[in-house]
Structure 1
Amino acid sequence: MQGFFSVNAVSLLLLALVAVLALVIWRYSATALAGETDKPRFMRALAATLAAVVFTLFSNHLLLFWLGWVAISLALQQLLLFYPQRPRAQLAAHKKALSARLSELLLAVAFTLLYLQFDTAIISDISAAVAAQPAGNLMLHGAAVLLVLVALLNCAQLPLHGWLIQVVEAPTPVSALLHAGIINLGGILLLCFAPLLSYSSPASALLLAAALFSTILAALIMTTRISIKVRLAWSTVAQMGLMLVEIALGLYTLALLHLLAHSCYKAYAFLHSGNAVNHYLAAQLAEQTNPAARHWLLSLTLAAAMVYLVQLLIPLSSLSSAVLLVLAITVLLAPSVYRADKRRPLRVLLALGYALALLALYFALKTLLRQVLPTPEPVALLADVITSLAFAALFVLAILLRYHSQHKAVNKLFIWLNAGGYLDEWATRITLQIWPYHARHTATHQHNNSLQEIK
């Protein structure tokens, strides 16, 4: 039994995260579902899902890991169908089920290849033996590619993302659990098999291309959405894509930090989404800003100077991470330099102080997590440059969509993005051809229909 389960720094850190999320979501569910006749059924499914997650995190055996992975999706399915009479909830659960079955099949094939290659099912032994394998082992490359596909499916990357957008039909605690926890399992899977991903360049290239495409498109689509829950869902797709990009580049420490921060933020965002109306009204009453090109240039210069000075003390691990930090601080500084009045110097100083505090927190957490999950190798230059250019393009397009959507070309792009690039319609059509779906009617709906016929 000792070899079947493993306790290490990463699993303990993730267990702490699961424990905090479980406590918050459990208490919220107990209050939010008060008066629901099916509340015990919901709480049982929630407990089963959390137990399956913990079981999977500590599994050190391929079969046990796979069984835990299947148990998570089956338990989650019960939560997604808590309101089975809702057609959109049924369709979302149907699409999620198909995605889950495909990921389980691919994961089973990948684990079978690993077992045949190493003649052991102990995950820690497999990870330790990968480095000694000669380059060009097709079985290992095949297993790595399959694991990448499983992660892309589980993280709802485009174009198979529609189920994640549509599961907002489920109760709010389900959305918080899914977006703050379950959706991260794809990244956790790749971090568990990081040596295998580092071994296979084709798998890393596939992950980088798919995740980078999904990150950029999902982030742009998010800017066109009005519904708070739908915006958060698209944000999750983009954030998961960014985390997978970091894993593809070999930035495992940064990916783990991203996973932890995203989980905490999304749990808060969904459970706090009821106050979205108040935030919207406050934003409408606040003064609207429309920075000009010179404001963006000044903010970009200040941000670049700040990141450059900080990285002299603590060097950054890649160009793309530096670009991402510069662009994030630029967005933070732009509103403070926009308004030209006597208080602008004070606003800029406060914004710079806030940005510096965030940078200090970022580097402190990253330094601590480096002891838990280090980044083993330097980032490949070509992949780093491509990623940096993609981040810069995303920044420019986001500004154009936010402040210059009246231009004809930008407006056309806005309309296409508002439709989600029609990717979900295409994916749904193919999904229903593979696995036809028929809406189920509950006994209550059938009773109401009978009453209508009598009348």
Structure 2
Amino acid sequence: MYYLSICLISFIFLFICSITSFFCGLNFLMSDLTIFIEWEVLSLNSCSIVMTFLLDWMSLIFMSFVLLISSLVIYYSKEYMSEDVNINRFILLVLMFVFSMMLLIISPNLISILLGWDGLGLVSYCLVIYFQNVKSYGAGMLTALSNRIGDVALLMAIAWMLNYGSWNYVFYIELMKSDFEMMVIAGLVMLAAMTKSAQIPFSSWLPAAMAAPTPVSALVHSSTLVTAGIYLLIRFNMLLVDNIFGQILLLVSGLTMFMAGLGANFEFDLKKIIALSTLSQLGLMMSILAMGFPILAFFHLLTHALFKALLFMCAGAIIHNMKNFQDIRVMGGLSIQMPLTASCFNIANLALCGMPFLAGFYSKDLILEIVSLSYINMFSFFLFFFSTGLTVCYSFRLVYYSMTGDFNSSSFHPLNDESWVMLKGMFGLFIMAVIGGSMLSWLIFPTPHMICLPNSLKLLTLFVCILGGLFGYLISNVSFFFINKSLENYQFSQFSGSMWFMPMISVIGTIKFPLSAGMMIVKTADQGWSEYFGGQMIYYSLKKYSLYFQLMQNNNLKIYLLTFVLWFIVLLSLIFF
């Protein structure tokens, strides 16, 4: 059929581009090569608008990963979205999304970055509201308006860069760092990255964006939209070292990591648990970036993209088989009925937890060892390790609820592993989630670095993971407590489970207050005073005077007599006075 050919053509094209980009990236990495392509579109006094492309090992390898994940997601969508009448539109939207991300990755110019940045925002809105219902519209509006804050910050950074005569920020980063006034750009770029990567206080849009179809979630929340902010800050990383912005970012991202990990332990929606785990990992990337390790943040960005996309695709296969149920309490025993999907799901979960020799271990363990080695305060140290424990805790809780025990839904239920197209898409990422971490660690860090720690700190990561997993199992097994403890501590559960009340604050801050303030301004200004003293007043005045003159021009004897009397009075007053 026609739509199948579009899916297959897109898959083959993106997959070939991914392989090509990866080998080019390897070549650039080995030979330490960077290609800079410029095309001057417009010159205005001393400022020139230049379309620029920066091709180095970082942009090419990131592009190859984005293209690989998007190709497998499109192939996976062939079956997942097969019942959708508008699948052509869906595939085209996904391709537009990927194109916007490509533009953002290879741009060292703030103008072209803004094009990709806004393209991501616009297309993500279209994808979030894809299932057209009230909940999706609300989630789409929250996503779009939260991201607009970052877009405005980026526009202000572009305006501020007029001081330099060009928007190619790569040439000016050293100068910006030495010039205190120009650190404004660092603050604005950091604000833009915080909105796009959903750091506190902009976190609420990320779980809300789960209203999109699951293939979109697999693409958006692994390697594209949410990582755009991280990637931008990796490019601007020199502006964050040894100043107040880096310290603020470290605190905010640490709290985001902690808040998301805590919230996921109180959540029962399968996709929202995975979304909150994405938020937690974004906090981890941001915090290690704020400490001055951009390559390490980039390494975790790539490994996280692999297993998180796989996790979402497995969740999509489960939801598809459960006839669109997302509550993990109505699942159970899925490892018996869907063994292949359950295997992929568990491997992705273990990679997320940092299980040795899977993809997540190489980056996550390295990050935590660098944190142990670094000069860092006790509070940030606690956030790093406690959040890691929480990650393992909610992962084991998720596995306990969905994979083990008895099946809790209808007894007559068509659960199976026969969706071969979806499974093929998942197997591609399954292989990468196993070997991707070691492969990337050999490529990005060819020279071993000496990390010398005492045994207590060296084993702390492993200890925290084991403790988190054990605790996750115990809190899930309700019979262990005899009663549900979360109902006893209802206020704490409500606070933690609602992301520290951030969705309510965000809705008031980004939707309710601006819209009600706008309506008030329209009512009082546009339709109020300006209308009264403007258009309406002119209309009534002209109408009144035209009626008066029309009356005067009528051939009426009374008018003539009245006019004569008036003129006579005037004449007399002139003669006698």
TM-score, with length taken from structure 1: 0.70
Aligned to 2:523: none
Aligned to 1:436: 515
Aligned to 2:294: 252
Aligned to 2:372: 319
Deviation at 1:245, TM superposition (A): 0.6
CA distance 1:11–1:318, change in 2 (3 Å): same
Aligned counterparts of 1:45 and 1:320: Cα–Cα separation in 2: 45
CA distance 1:360–1:90, change in 2 (3 Å): closer
Aligned counterparts of 1:160 and 1:36: Cα–Cα separation in 2: 32
CA contact (8 A) 1:83 1:170 kept: yes
Aligned to 1:123: 169
Deviation at 1:187, TM superposition (A): 0.3
Aligned to 1:158: 200
CA contact (8 A) 2:261 2:391 kept: no
Aligned counterparts of 2:188 and 2:391: Cα–Cα separation in 1: 38
- 2:167 maps to a residue whose letter is A
CA distance 1:330–1:269, change in 2 (3 Å): closer
Which structure 2 residue ranges, 5 or more long, are not aligned?
Answer: 1-35, 39-51, 323-327, 337-355, 357-365, 375-380, 397-432, 452-456, 476-480, 517-577
CA contact (8 A) 2:197 2:229 kept: yes
**Identity across the alignment (%):** 22
- Describe the SS at the equivalent of 1:424: helix
Deviation at 1:240, TM superposition (A): 0.8
- Deviation per CA, 1:402-428: give whole Å up to 9, x if none: 647739986653342123322211221
CA distance 1:87–1:95, change in 2 (3 Å): same
Deviation at 1:58, TM superposition (A): 0.8
CA contact (8 A) 2:63 2:102 kept: yes
Aligned to 2:503: 424
- 1:94 maps to a residue whose letter is M
CA contact (8 A) 1:155 1:240 kept: yes
After the TM superposition, which residues 58-73 of structure 1 pair with which residues of structure 2 at under 5 Å, given as runs? 58-73=106-121
User: Are 2:270 and 1:270 aligned?
Assistant: no
* Residue from 234, 243, 266 that aligns with 1:201: 243
Aligned counterparts of 1:369 and 1:75: Cα–Cα separation in 2: 32
- Deviation per CA, 1:88-112: give whole Å up to 9, x if none: 1000111111112211110111233
User: Are 2:139 and 1:139 aligned?
Assistant: no
CA distance 1:43–1:362, change in 2 (3 Å): closer
Aligned to 1:18: 66
Aligned counterparts of 1:317 and 1:420: Cα–Cα separation in 2: 28
Larger displacement relative to structure 2 (89-98 or 152-161):
152-161
CA contact (8 A) 1:220 1:398 kept: no
- Describe the SS at the equivalent of 2:55: coil
- 1:123 maps to a residue whose letter is Y
After the TM superposition, which residues 219-258 of structure 1 pair with which residues of structure 2 at under 5 Å, given as runs? 219-258=261-300
- Describe the SS at the equivalent of 1:6: strand
CA contact (8 A) 2:392 2:469 kept: no
CA contact (8 A) 1:7 1:58 kept: yes
Aligned counterparts of 1:104 and 1:330: Cα–Cα separation in 2: 31
CA contact (8 A) 1:127 1:195 kept: yes
Aligned to 1:2: 37
Larger displacement relative to structure 2 (421-430 or 241-250):
421-430
- 2:37 maps to a residue whose letter is Q
Aligned counterparts of 1:267 and 1:319: Cα–Cα separation in 2: 29
Deviation at 1:25, TM superposition (A): 1.1
CA contact (8 A) 1:130 1:195 kept: no
CA contact (8 A) 1:110 1:146 kept: yes
Deviation at 1:223, TM superposition (A): 0.7
CA distance 1:424–1:55, change in 2 (3 Å): same
CA contact (8 A) 1:145 1:202 kept: no
Deviation at 1:360, TM superposition (A): 11
Aligned to 1:368: 443
Aligned to 2:153: 106
- Describe the SS at the equivalent of 2:251: helix
Deviation at 1:261, TM superposition (A): 1.6
Aligned counterparts of 2:203 and 2:78: Cα–Cα separation in 1: 29
CA distance 1:61–1:88, change in 2 (3 Å): same
CA contact (8 A) 1:62 1:111 kept: yes
CA contact (8 A) 1:114 1:126 kept: no
CA contact (8 A) 2:390 2:468 kept: no
Aligned counterparts of 2:66 and 2:434: Cα–Cα separation in 1: 26
Larger displacement relative to structure 2 (399-408 or 168-177):
399-408
Aligned counterparts of 2:131 and 2:310: Cα–Cα separation in 1: 23
Which structure 1 residue ranges, 5 or more long, are not aligned?
Answer: 286-302, 304-312, 336-357, 379-384, 438-455
- Describe the SS at the equivalent of 1:91: helix
- 2:295 maps to a residue whose letter is T
CA distance 1:408–1:2, change in 2 (3 Å): closer
Structure possessing the higher relative contact order (Cα contacts under 8 Å, 6 or more residues apart): 1
How many residues align structurally?
A: 367
Aligned counterparts of 1:371 and 1:126: Cα–Cα separation in 2: 29
- Describe the SS at the equivalent of 2:500: helix
Aligned counterparts of 1:104 and 1:42: Cα–Cα separation in 2: 25
Aligned counterparts of 1:99 and 1:231: Cα–Cα separation in 2: 21
Aligned counterparts of 1:145 and 1:67: Cα–Cα separation in 2: 20
User: Are 2:97 and 1:49 aligned?
Assistant: yes
Aligned to 2:47: none
Aligned counterparts of 2:244 and 2:512: Cα–Cα separation in 1: 31
Larger displacement relative to structure 2 (274-283 or 145-154):
274-283
Aligned counterparts of 1:407 and 1:20: Cα–Cα separation in 2: 41
User: Are 2:140 and 1:93 aligned?
Assistant: yes
- Deviation per CA, 1:376-403: give whole Å up to 9, x if none: xx9xxxxxx9xx99x98xx889949964
* Residue from 492, 505, 508 that aligns with 1:413: 492
* Residue from 297, 300, 303 that aligns with 1:261: 303
CA contact (8 A) 1:88 1:166 kept: no
Which of the two has higher C-alpha Rg? 2
CA contact (8 A) 1:401 1:414 kept: no
